[in-house]
Structure 1
Amino acid sequence: MQSKRSRVLVKFSGEALAGENGFGIDTKILGFIASEIRSLVENKIEVGIVIGGGNIIRGVSAAQDGVIRRTSADYMGMLATVINAVAMQEALEHAGLDVRVQSAIELKEICESYIYRRAIRHLEKGRVVIFGAGTGNPFFTTDTAATLRAIEIGANMIIKATKVDGVYDKDPNKFSDAKKLDTLSYEEALDDRIKVMDDTAIALAKDNRLPIVVCNMFKAGNLLKIIQGDNGLCSVVGQRQ
């Protein structure tokens, strides 16, 4: 296995793919993300990706009135993440990259099933690996799935790509006096006021000393600069290795 210093897991929200439409997939957003990922691959960085499914359906929302059971709703959400993964695969291949989608639930006509050793081998060969269907289990978020996959593939960090340049003590879109927190401990990230990831994901990262990097995905070049060590463009939970 190559040094894990050259390997990252990038987590995108499904809503990010929707753009201003708020629903579905904006191909311009896909194209932008693909160009950002290509810059990483061109700099010899091995990339895994996890994408949420909120632009199509959220399990929690689908189950809120009791008509759809939470377990079924979460499986519907997993399928949404696979749809996004296939769309991202197409965009990355259009950008000239070699890509594989691996799903935590079997969908053999569409993509590979998740196999840890096969994922590692793809990464070592310079392929981008997109992990779909969450953990394959209901009641777990894609944040937790992303953290789990990052640990399994030996990534040296998980990057949570958002619409803001880091973590703030309050919503910067609502409060002009919001203060950016450049570094946080895992314990601070678990504070109810600070929404980095869900508690399970943060606890898993803490147990495995996996740094969580939060950054703005919509500024060209940010991902590469952050991976190369520019901490001014992000917030870091834990300690970078």
Structure 2
Amino acid sequence: MSSDAAQTKFKRVMLKISGEALMGDQGFGLHPPTVQRIANEVKSVHELGVEICMVIGGGNIFRGLQGSAQGMERTTADYMGMLATVMNALAMQSALEGLGVFTRVISAIPMDQICEPYIRRRAVRHLEKKRVCIFAAGTGNPYFTTDTAATLRASEMACEAIFKGTKVDGVYDKDPVTNADAVRFETISFDDVLAKHLKVMDASAIALARDNNLPIIVFSLDEPGGFRGILAGKGTYTKVVS
């Protein structure tokens, strides 16, 4: 067992990433080298013996809220967004299995030819067998984001934390990209995130995580080795707790 594995206190975690994280420097779609890089990050954590759940957004292909804003009926737009998450999940599954990591895509909307339907006990059994479980199609309901889906599945799977991979290394009091004086929080409470309207996850996801005492760790997915390092207590991140 590596020294990182000895230090890792997490047995089962949820990794939530946006669909935009998979498009690299492109403005749209999937960027295979970026998918491969993230798959390598997941594999490095899997090798520590950590059981991994994943939820990937669909914003690189279709975002329901934007479709709705352009005149499309909201429920239809949201279902299209859910299908986009399935496409991303299949791409990540392909990359992980190419690295020798057994992976299951589990969809909230049944589509038996390409992935499994969501059955909680079966998903738990996959995790116990050290398979990565990618939960796709959100919660299966319109009007709920993949942030909420990640928090819901993390609660159902008894994950010990949600790791939210973003383009910045934590939660700031304002956008660090456009504000040089932005201050990063080491730790912040769920209530403060809601009160300050900080863009960690949507309000439903934050409230659900708070009610289930499920910490959210926000870190940069662009930092090589960042996911593994943070599991071992290294690196820069923000922890959102009760």
Give the shorter-chain TM-score range. over 0.9
Aligned equivalent of 1:236: 239
Aligned equivalent of 2:4: none
Aligned equivalent of 1:143: 147
Match of 2:92 among 88, 94, 99: 88
Question: In structure 1, what residue type is equivalent to 2:240?
Answer: V
d(CA) in 1 for partners of 2:225, 2:160: 19
Aligned equivalent of 2:70: 65
Aligned equivalent of 1:47: 52
Does residue 18 in structure 1 map to residue 31 in structure 2?
A: no
Aligned equivalent of 1:112: 116
**What's the RMSD between the two structures over aligned residues?**
1.1
In the alignment, structure 2 segments of 5+ residues that lack a partner are: 1-8
Match of 1:190 among 190, 194, 197: 194
Instruction: State the secondary structure of the residue aligned to 2:21.
Output: helix
Q: Is the 8 A contact 2:64 2:78 kept in 1?
A: yes
- Percentage of matched positions with identical amino acids: 55
Aligned equivalent of 1:76: 80
Deviates more, 1:191-200 or 1:39-48: 191-200
Q: Is the 8 A contact 2:170 2:236 kept in 1?
A: yes
Deviation string 1:58-105 (CA, Å, 9 cap, x unpaired) is: 001011132x21001000000000000000000001111000000000
Q: Is the 8 A contact 1:59 1:77 kept in 2?
A: yes
Instruction: State the secondary structure of the residue aligned to 2:159.
Output: coil
Q: Cα distance, 1:218 vs. partner? A: 1.1
d(CA) in 1 for partners of 2:127, 2:37: 22
Residues 194-209 of structure 1: matches in 2 within 5 Å? 194-209=198-213
Q: 1:65 to 1:30 in 2, by over 3 A?
A: closer
d(CA) in 2 for partners of 1:184, 1:131: 27
d(CA) in 2 for partners of 1:50, 1:143: 8
Q: Is the 8 A contact 2:173 2:184 kept in 1?
A: yes
Aligned equivalent of 2:167: 163
Instruction: State the secondary structure of the residue aligned to 1:21.
Output: coil
Q: Cα distance, 1:192 vs. partner? A: 4.4
Stretches (4+) displaced over 4 A: none
d(CA) in 1 for partners of 2:10, 2:34: 28
Q: Is the 8 A contact 1:170 1:193 kept in 2?
A: no
